[in-house]
Amino acid sequence: MPQNVQAFIFDLDGVVVFTDKYHYLGWKKLADDQGWELDEYLGHQLRGVSRIPALEIILEHNGVELLEEEKHRLADIKNEYYRAFLQDISTNDLYPGAVELIKAVRERGVRTALASASKNAGTVLDALGLTLLFDAVVTGNDISRSKPDPEVFLISAERLGVSPERCLVFEDAYSGIEAAINAGMHAVGVGDRERLPNAPLCVTDYGELALDDLIARGTGTP
Protein backbone atom coordinates (compact mmCIF):
# COMPACT_ATOMS: atom_id res chain seq x y z
CA MET A 1 0.00 0.00 0.00
CA PRO A 2 1.62 3.32 -1.07
CA GLN A 3 2.35 5.77 1.72
CA ASN A 4 1.64 9.48 1.51
CA VAL A 5 4.42 11.68 0.19
CA GLN A 6 5.69 13.91 3.00
CA ALA A 7 8.27 15.97 1.12
CA PHE A 8 8.72 17.48 -2.32
CA ILE A 9 12.35 18.01 -3.34
CA PHE A 10 13.14 20.34 -6.22
CA ASP A 11 16.23 20.67 -8.37
CA LEU A 12 16.90 24.32 -9.21
CA ASP A 13 18.01 24.68 -12.82
CA GLY A 14 15.19 24.06 -15.27
CA VAL A 15 12.78 23.11 -12.49
CA VAL A 16 12.26 26.22 -10.37
CA VAL A 17 14.23 28.77 -12.38
CA PHE A 18 15.95 28.75 -15.75
CA THR A 19 19.57 29.31 -14.76
CA ASP A 20 20.87 26.73 -17.22
CA LYS A 21 21.26 29.42 -19.87
CA TYR A 22 23.60 31.36 -17.55
CA HIS A 23 25.64 28.19 -16.93
CA TYR A 24 25.84 27.63 -20.67
CA LEU A 25 27.00 31.21 -21.24
CA GLY A 26 29.69 30.76 -18.59
CA TRP A 27 30.95 27.51 -20.12
CA LYS A 28 30.69 28.96 -23.63
CA LYS A 29 32.82 31.96 -22.72
CA LEU A 30 35.43 29.71 -21.11
CA ALA A 31 35.44 27.41 -24.15
CA ASP A 32 35.81 30.36 -26.50
CA ASP A 33 38.71 31.66 -24.39
CA GLN A 34 40.44 28.30 -24.75
CA GLY A 35 39.56 27.69 -28.40
CA TRP A 36 37.36 24.69 -27.55
CA GLU A 37 34.17 23.60 -29.28
CA LEU A 38 30.98 23.90 -27.24
CA ASP A 39 27.61 23.90 -28.96
CA GLU A 40 24.12 23.76 -27.47
CA TYR A 41 23.95 19.97 -27.85
CA LEU A 42 27.07 19.51 -25.74
CA GLY A 43 25.84 22.21 -23.38
CA HIS A 44 22.69 20.16 -22.81
CA GLN A 45 24.83 17.30 -21.51
CA LEU A 46 26.19 19.60 -18.80
CA ARG A 47 22.78 20.17 -17.21
CA GLY A 48 22.63 18.95 -13.62
CA VAL A 49 26.35 18.14 -13.59
CA SER A 50 28.77 19.62 -11.06
CA ARG A 51 31.55 21.95 -12.16
CA ILE A 52 34.56 19.61 -12.52
CA PRO A 53 32.63 16.71 -14.10
CA ALA A 54 31.06 19.22 -16.51
CA LEU A 55 34.47 20.54 -17.46
CA GLU A 56 35.67 16.98 -18.02
CA ILE A 57 32.81 16.40 -20.47
CA ILE A 58 33.97 19.45 -22.44
CA LEU A 59 37.60 18.33 -22.30
CA GLU A 60 36.77 14.82 -23.49
CA HIS A 61 34.70 16.20 -26.36
CA ASN A 62 37.64 18.35 -27.43
CA GLY A 63 40.28 15.69 -26.87
CA VAL A 64 42.06 17.78 -24.22
CA GLU A 65 43.85 16.47 -21.13
CA LEU A 66 44.68 18.74 -18.19
CA LEU A 67 46.20 18.38 -14.76
CA GLU A 68 43.74 18.47 -11.87
CA GLU A 69 45.11 21.80 -10.68
CA GLU A 70 44.42 23.36 -14.08
CA LYS A 71 40.92 21.88 -14.17
CA HIS A 72 40.09 23.56 -10.88
CA ARG A 73 41.57 26.85 -12.04
CA LEU A 74 39.46 26.86 -15.18
CA ALA A 75 36.34 25.75 -13.31
CA ASP A 76 36.78 28.72 -10.96
CA ILE A 77 37.06 31.05 -13.95
CA LYS A 78 33.84 29.61 -15.38
CA ASN A 79 32.15 30.23 -12.04
CA GLU A 80 33.24 33.87 -12.14
CA TYR A 81 31.73 34.19 -15.61
CA TYR A 82 28.53 32.49 -14.45
CA ARG A 83 28.15 34.77 -11.43
CA ALA A 84 28.64 37.79 -13.68
CA PHE A 85 25.89 36.59 -16.03
CA LEU A 86 23.66 35.93 -12.99
CA GLN A 87 23.50 39.68 -12.36
CA ASP A 88 20.80 39.71 -15.04
CA ILE A 89 18.57 37.10 -13.37
CA SER A 90 15.01 38.16 -12.59
CA THR A 91 11.54 36.74 -11.93
CA ASN A 92 11.24 36.44 -15.72
CA ASP A 93 13.58 33.45 -15.39
CA LEU A 94 11.22 31.52 -13.08
CA TYR A 95 9.68 28.33 -14.43
CA PRO A 96 5.99 29.17 -14.98
CA GLY A 97 3.89 27.86 -12.10
CA ALA A 98 6.85 26.68 -9.99
CA VAL A 99 6.38 29.14 -7.12
CA GLU A 100 2.63 28.52 -7.10
CA LEU A 101 3.23 24.75 -6.96
CA ILE A 102 5.65 25.04 -4.04
CA LYS A 103 3.26 27.28 -2.11
CA ALA A 104 0.36 24.89 -2.77
CA VAL A 105 2.42 21.96 -1.53
CA ARG A 106 3.35 23.78 1.66
CA GLU A 107 -0.28 24.70 2.29
CA ARG A 108 -1.03 20.98 2.34
CA GLY A 109 1.54 20.43 5.08
CA VAL A 110 4.13 18.83 2.78
CA ARG A 111 7.74 19.79 3.48
CA THR A 112 9.91 21.21 0.72
CA ALA A 113 13.61 21.16 -0.10
CA LEU A 114 15.86 22.59 -2.78
CA ALA A 115 18.53 20.12 -3.93
CA SER A 116 21.01 21.44 -6.47
CA ALA A 117 24.53 20.56 -7.56
CA SER A 118 25.18 24.27 -8.05
CA LYS A 119 27.33 25.98 -5.44
CA ASN A 120 25.56 29.22 -6.33
CA ALA A 121 22.03 27.94 -5.69
CA GLY A 122 21.72 29.94 -2.47
CA THR A 123 22.69 33.11 -4.32
CA VAL A 124 19.98 32.49 -6.90
CA LEU A 125 17.32 31.83 -4.26
CA ASP A 126 18.23 34.98 -2.36
CA ALA A 127 18.24 37.09 -5.52
CA LEU A 128 14.71 35.95 -6.38
CA GLY A 129 13.36 35.96 -2.82
CA LEU A 130 12.69 32.22 -2.82
CA THR A 131 14.76 31.00 0.14
CA LEU A 132 11.89 30.92 2.64
CA LEU A 133 9.87 28.63 0.36
CA PHE A 134 12.12 25.72 1.35
CA ASP A 135 12.48 23.94 4.68
CA ALA A 136 15.95 22.76 3.61
CA VAL A 137 18.43 23.90 0.98
CA VAL A 138 21.21 21.56 -0.16
CA THR A 139 23.74 22.85 -2.69
CA GLY A 140 27.00 21.86 -4.30
CA ASN A 141 28.74 23.15 -1.18
CA ASP A 142 27.17 20.30 0.82
CA ILE A 143 28.00 17.32 -1.39
CA SER A 144 31.06 15.48 -2.65
CA ARG A 145 29.44 13.30 -5.34
CA SER A 146 27.51 14.35 -8.45
CA LYS A 147 24.26 12.95 -9.77
CA PRO A 148 23.41 10.18 -10.59
CA ASP A 149 24.81 9.57 -7.13
CA PRO A 150 21.85 10.11 -4.76
CA GLU A 151 23.84 12.04 -2.14
CA VAL A 152 22.17 15.44 -2.69
CA PHE A 153 18.69 13.94 -2.32
CA LEU A 154 19.54 11.75 0.66
CA ILE A 155 20.99 14.76 2.50
CA SER A 156 17.82 16.70 1.69
CA ALA A 157 15.62 13.94 3.10
CA GLU A 158 17.77 13.73 6.21
CA ARG A 159 17.54 17.47 6.83
CA LEU A 160 13.78 17.35 6.34
CA GLY A 161 13.44 14.39 8.68
CA VAL A 162 11.58 12.41 6.03
CA SER A 163 12.39 8.88 4.86
CA PRO A 164 13.44 8.59 1.18
CA GLU A 165 10.42 6.54 0.13
CA ARG A 166 8.20 9.39 1.30
CA CYS A 167 9.97 11.95 -0.93
CA LEU A 168 9.02 13.11 -4.41
CA VAL A 169 11.78 14.68 -6.55
CA PHE A 170 11.31 17.12 -9.42
CA GLU A 171 14.20 16.95 -11.91
CA ASP A 172 14.87 18.07 -15.48
CA ALA A 173 18.00 16.01 -16.16
CA TYR A 174 18.38 12.30 -16.94
CA SER A 175 21.14 12.01 -14.32
CA GLY A 176 18.90 13.72 -11.76
CA ILE A 177 16.08 11.25 -12.32
CA GLU A 178 18.60 8.44 -11.93
CA ALA A 179 19.80 9.99 -8.68
CA ALA A 180 16.25 10.18 -7.33
CA ILE A 181 15.59 6.55 -8.26
CA ASN A 182 18.94 5.53 -6.72
CA ALA A 183 17.83 7.30 -3.53
CA GLY A 184 14.66 5.19 -3.43
CA MET A 185 12.44 8.21 -4.03
CA HIS A 186 9.51 8.97 -6.30
CA ALA A 187 10.38 11.20 -9.26
CA VAL A 188 8.75 13.60 -11.70
CA GLY A 189 10.62 14.59 -14.83
CA VAL A 190 10.27 18.24 -15.79
CA GLY A 191 10.51 18.21 -19.57
CA ASP A 192 9.69 16.10 -22.59
CA ARG A 193 9.45 12.31 -22.33
CA GLU A 194 11.95 11.97 -25.19
CA ARG A 195 14.59 13.70 -23.08
CA LEU A 196 13.65 11.93 -19.83
CA PRO A 197 12.78 8.33 -20.74
CA ASN A 198 13.74 7.16 -17.25
CA ALA A 199 11.20 9.37 -15.44
CA PRO A 200 8.09 7.60 -14.03
CA LEU A 201 6.09 10.74 -14.87
CA CYS A 202 6.91 13.75 -17.07
CA VAL A 203 5.35 17.22 -17.09
CA THR A 204 6.03 20.47 -18.87
CA ASP A 205 3.14 22.38 -17.26
CA TYR A 206 2.88 22.30 -13.46
CA GLY A 207 -0.78 23.27 -13.75
CA GLU A 208 -1.53 19.84 -15.19
CA LEU A 209 -0.40 18.02 -12.04
CA ALA A 210 -3.02 16.30 -9.89
CA LEU A 211 -1.33 17.49 -6.72
CA ASP A 212 -3.49 15.69 -4.18
CA ASP A 213 -3.09 12.45 -6.08
CA LEU A 214 0.69 12.90 -6.19
CA ILE A 215 0.79 13.43 -2.45
CA ALA A 216 -1.40 10.38 -1.85
CA ARG A 217 0.34 7.99 -4.22
CA GLY A 218 3.62 9.47 -5.43
CA THR A 219 4.56 8.15 -8.87
CA GLY A 220 4.56 4.49 -7.94
CA THR A 221 6.40 2.29 -5.46
CA PRO A 222 10.05 3.44 -5.28
User: So where are the chain's domains?
Assistant: 7-18+94-217, 20-88
Instruction: Write out pLDDT tens, residues 59-100.
Output: 999 999 999 999 999 999 999 999 999 989 999 999 999 999
Instruction: Write out pLDDT tens, residues 10-50.
Output: 999 899 999 888 989 999 999 999 999 999 889 888 876 77
Mean pLDDT of 119-145: 94
CA angle 68, 69, 70 (to 5 degrees): 90
DSSP alpha helices (H): ranges in the chain? 20-34, 40-45, 51-62, 68-85, 98-107, 121-128, 151-160, 174-182, 211-217
Return the SS3 of 173: coil
Q: Classify domain 20-88 at the CATH topology level.
A: DNA polymerase; domain 1 (1.10.150)
In this model, does residue 2 exceed pLDDT 60? Answer: no
Task: List residues with catalytic annotation.
Answer: 11, 13
pLDDT at 12: 94
Mean pLDDT of 176-194: 96
Amino acid at 198: N
In percent, how much of the chain has pLDDT > 90? 82
CATH class, domain 7-18+94-217, is alpha beta
In this model, does residue 51 exceed pLDDT 90? Answer: no
- Does residue 188 contact residue 202 with C-beta atoms inside 8 Å? yes
Say if residue 217 is exposed, middle or buried (CB neighbours under 10 Å; 0-12, 13-18, 19+).
middle
Please, which pLDDT band fits residue 1 given cuts at 50, 70 and 90? very low
Instruction: Write out pLDDT tens, residues 165-174.
Output: 999 999 999 9
Amino acid at 18: F
Instruction: Write out pLDDT tens, residues 196-220.
Output: 999 999 999 999 999 999 999 888 7
Return the SS3 of 221: coil
Mean pLDDT of 119-131: 93
